[in-house]
Amino acid sequence: MTLTDRFDLGEPMPAPTASPEHERRLALRRSAPAQDLTKPGPSPAQIQRILSLGARSPDHGKLFPWRFVVMGPQSRADLAEKLKALVAQKGLSPKSVAVLAKLTAAPVSILVVSTAAPGPKPVWEQELSSGAVCMNIEHAADALGFSASWITDWYSYDEDALPLLGLTAGEKVAGFIHIGTASEPLLERVRPDVAAITTTLP
């Protein structure tokens, strides 16, 4: 029997089974520094797969309150030039230019845009859903053997930068998920003391 992970609407799906490999991947996933992401990156088919897996995220009300912009190197280089001009025009700090290295390095970047709007479900929940999408894109990239980095930086919040990113009124940047191969080994970072932030109730 050929195993498939595609099901028709309403079709019963298999119950989860324990997967030590999946568990291990979750335990080992680490973000790469975005400026250290290099080739190889995902192929067009792999990008589509990553987006499909990312879009498979919890979403109260089935509103799909997010959209994707797949950005190759050229579009990000062009965007970085426009952002540099904006930095000069607004007199922003030199660091605002330095961080653009994180925007342009990776072979491919997926801009996740939150399209949350007042409606049947709280905007907060719609925005949380876009964060879940970002995380699932990171997990999908990891599953396909790539590293990723979730970056926002100043241009995700600057009202003059947002039109340069192609955002329309009311839209927000959930994140740029940069995807590629880390040029250096990734080092473990500090992790929370889970027991200290956990309350267990009977």
Ligand X SMILES: Cc1cc2nc3c(=O)[nH]c(=O)nc-3n(C[C@H](O)[C@H](O)[C@H](O)COP(=O)(O)O)c2cc1C
**Cβ 149 to ligand X, closest distance in Å?**
6
- Minimum CB distance to ligand X, residue 44 (Å): 25
Please report, as residue ranges, which positions from 150 to 179 form the binding site for ligand X (by CB under 6 A): 150-153, 175
Q: Which two tokens stand for residue 64?
A: 């799909």
Cβ atoms of 55 and 177 closer than 8 Å: no
Contact in structure between 99 and 178 (CB atoms under 8 Å): no
Residue 59 or 153: which CB sits closer to ligand X?
153
Q: Minimum Å distance from CB 161 to ligand X?
A: 13
Number of chain positions touching ligand X (CB under 6 A): 9
Q: Which lies closer to ligand X via its Cβ, residue 44 or residue 192?
A: 192
Q: By Cβ distance, which residue is nearest to ligand X?
A: 31
Residue 149 binds to ligand X (criterion: CB under 6 A) = yes
> Minimum distance between the CB of residue 152 and ligand X, rounded to whole angstroms?
4
Across 136-153, b (16+ Cβ under 10 Å) vs e yields: bbbbbbbeeebbbbbbeb
Residue whose tokens read 């965007």: 79
Q: Among the candidate windows 13-21, 40-48, 110-118, 149-157, which touches ligand X by CB under 6 A? A: 149-157
Query: Does the footprint of ligand X cover residue 103 (CB under 6 A)?
Result: no
Please say which residue, 5 or 188, places its beta carbon nearer to ligand X: 188
How far apart CA 36 and CA 106 sit, in angstroms, is 8
116-120 contact pairs (CB < 8 A, 24+): 116/65, 116/172, 117/65, 117/170, 119/61, 119/63, 120/61, 120/63
Query: What CA–CA distance (Å, rounded) separates 137 from 178?
Result: 10
The residue ranges that bind ligand X (CB under 6 A) are: 30-31, 149-153, 175, 189
